[in-house]
Structure 1
Amino acid sequence: MHFNKLLILVCLFTFFLVNQASAQVEDTVSKATDTLKSRNYRPMKVDSPKVMTRRDSVKSKYVNPGKVAGRKAVLKSLILPGLGQIYNLQLLNDGSRAGKNLTFQRIYTIGKIGAIYGGFTVLTLSYIESSKQYDLYLKELQYRNNNGGKADPNGPFIKADGSEFSTSGITTGKDTYRRNKQIVLFSYGLVYIANVVDAYVAARLHFFNIDDKLSFRAVPTLINSNSMYSFRAMPALKLSLTF
């Protein structure tokens, strides 16, 4: 009886040990790794397509150097009279007309700068003189208006024999000098505009192909002298210029 119980206990203990051993083996065996998941894939770098802009798709336009130079000359002349002519003088030294004698053009350009400031100087002196005379005549008229038409004894409008200049003559002189002042101011504007136009034209002409090849051709021809319904031929001379 005791032997049977002992045998049963040994069998149960053996079964328990076998189960523990199998569980230990299953825990220690590593699972097969998924090679597809564990593999490190580097992302492929795909170049993004180049975006075409309007500037890339449109062909570059031709830039006229004469227009660019003309705009620069106008801007400089507007800022300071004569500065556009100095810019044109620099264009003559850029080497684009190598082999040509540009001495006369340089002298001519420098002369235009002198003429511009000479004109402003003459106009300024004329304006100062006209203003001085206008104030003098106006002062005399104001004195006569306040003193019953009598001339200022200390003024310059009394002749050597003691007679006075007429009031109407002094009024005419005042109006003349006032008009001279207005003409001088208008002339300032003309010189200023002429300075801008000259700078622009000279800058544009610098990039024209101007050479010494000038020729003409005279060919006899016939023209219609009747402009209504019939043709009446008249001899004429056709002149063609090539430059």
Structure 2
Amino acid sequence: MHKYLFLIAFLLAFVGVKAQIADTTKQRSKNDILNAHRDSITSKPFKPTVKSLKIYHPDSTHSPRKAVIKSLSFPGLGQIYNRHGIWWRLPLIYGGLGALAYNIYSNGKDYNVFLKESEWRAHGRIGDEPLPYYQGSPITNIADQTIYDYKDNLRRNRDLSIFGFILVWGVNAIDAYIDAKFTHSYSMDNDLSFKVTPSLMGNPATGPVYASNFNYSFTPSLKVTFFLK
């Protein structure tokens, strides 16, 4: 009898627990199922974006010789041919050459004035030649030594300006060659690595190191090694 009572109580408890569990499958409507299916189709898998860096490869058709010839024939043509850094190279080239050309002209003009006056004072004025003027004033009342000093200074400034003009023209050609050489022969990318290691650097002031030289000093340092791949 007690066995049957225990079995009946167990069945009643099982039925009560099952009744308390909500049936979630019956609560989902047809629209919910369609929306879930649509979302699974339209959604895309997540892919992390990796920013690719631009790599410059060598251009075998770019001629450094042609860049030099263009720059020697006319300043700035080699830089225009290289198409790199034109916005700041050309103003520097033309600005430097223009300033030097103006100095050559102004110093040369004033030099000729003082040269003529110094020749007149050494050999005498011939005929009714016009008086020499410097900065709007005649220089006939200036002392002889001052005339000679001005003449020498103006000639030196003119010669230095000519030398600077030639130098800037040459630097312009060298710059065009180097830029064209890098474009022609070398790649420029971010494939660069380096290694930093601690090191000891000897002090040359203490002399060479020997087994018996205990006064030789070392200086802690860092050794940086670059790897070009």
- TM-score, normalised with respect to structure 1: 0.53
CA contact (8 A) 2:68 2:174 kept: yes
Letter in 2 for 1:114: P
- Root-mean-square deviation (CA, aligned residues, Å) is 3.4
Aligned residue identity for 1:237: L
Shift of 1:221: 3.0
1:164 aligns with 2:145: no
State the partner residue of 2:116.
Answer: 139
Q: Is residue 137–residue 170 contact of structure 1 (8 Å, CA) maintained in 2?
A: yes
Aligned length: 157
**What residue identity is the alignment partner of 2:80?**
I
Select 1:189's aligned residue among 158, 166, 171.
166
Any conservation in 2 of the 1:222–1:236 contact (CA below 8 Å)?
A: yes
User: Deviation per CA, 1:108-136, whole angstroms, max 9, x where unpaired?
Assistant: 32331232222222222111111110111
Aligned identity (percent) is: 33
1:236 counterpart letter in structure 2: S
**Aligned counterpart, 1:227:** 208
1:219 and 1:239 in contact (8 A); partners too: yes
Q: Aligned residue for 2:187? A: 209
Q: Deviations over 1:150-203 (max 9, x none)?
A: xx994447xx9xx93211011010011111121122112101210110001111
User: CA separation in 2, counterparts of 1:198 and 1:133?
Assistant: 34
188-197 vs 117-126, which moves further: 117-126
Could you say which residue in structure 2 is the equivalent of 1:75?
69
Q: Which amino acid aligns with 2:226?
A: L
Q: Which consecutive residues of structure 2, in runs of 5 or more, have no partner in the other structure?
A: 1-57
Partner of 1:239: 224
* Structure 1 residues 212 and 131: alpha-carbon distance in aligned structure 2, compared to 1, 3 A threshold: same
Q: Distance in 2 between matches of 1:195 and 1:153?
A: 43
SS of aligned partner of 1:127: helix
- Contact (CA 8 Å) 1:71, 1:200: kept in 2 or not? yes
What secondary structure, in the 3-state scheme, does the structure 1 residue paired with 2:142 have? coil
Matches within 5 A, 1:22-41: none
**1:66/1:205 contact within 8 Å kept:** no
User: Which among 86, 94, 111 is matched to residue 117 of structure 1?
Assistant: 94
**Greater relative CO, 1 or 2 (CA 8 Å, sep 6+):** 2
Work out the CA distance in 1 between the residues paired with 2:158 and 2:217. Answer: 59
Give the 3 Å change call, closer, same or farther, for CA 66–191 of structure 1 in structure 2. Answer: farther
Whether the 8 Å CA contact 2:59–2:183 is kept in 1: the answer is no
Larger radius of gyration: 1
Q: How far did 1:88 drift? A: 0.1
Against the structure 1 CA distance between its residues 67 and 180, is the aligned structure 2 distance closer, same or farther, given a 3 Å change threshold?
A: farther
- 8 Å contact from structure 2 (residues 64, 177) kept in 1: yes
CA 1:156 to 1:233, structure 2 compared with 1: closer, same or farther past 3 Å?
closer
Correspondence for 1:128: 105
- Give unpaired runs (5+ residues) of structure 1: 1-63, 90-104
The residue type equivalent to 2:79 in the other structure is Q
Cα pair distance change 1:211/1:177, threshold 3 Å: same
**How far 1:81 sits from its partner (Å)?**
2.1
Secondary structure class of the residue paired with 2:221: strand
State the secondary structure of the residue aligned to 1:237.
strand
Alignment partner, residue 57 of structure 1: none
Residues in 2 aligned to 1:86 and 1:189: alpha-carbon distance in whole angstroms: 20
- State how far apart, in whole Å, the 1-side matches of 2:106 and 2:200 are: 63
Question: 1:236 deviation in Å?
Answer: 3.5
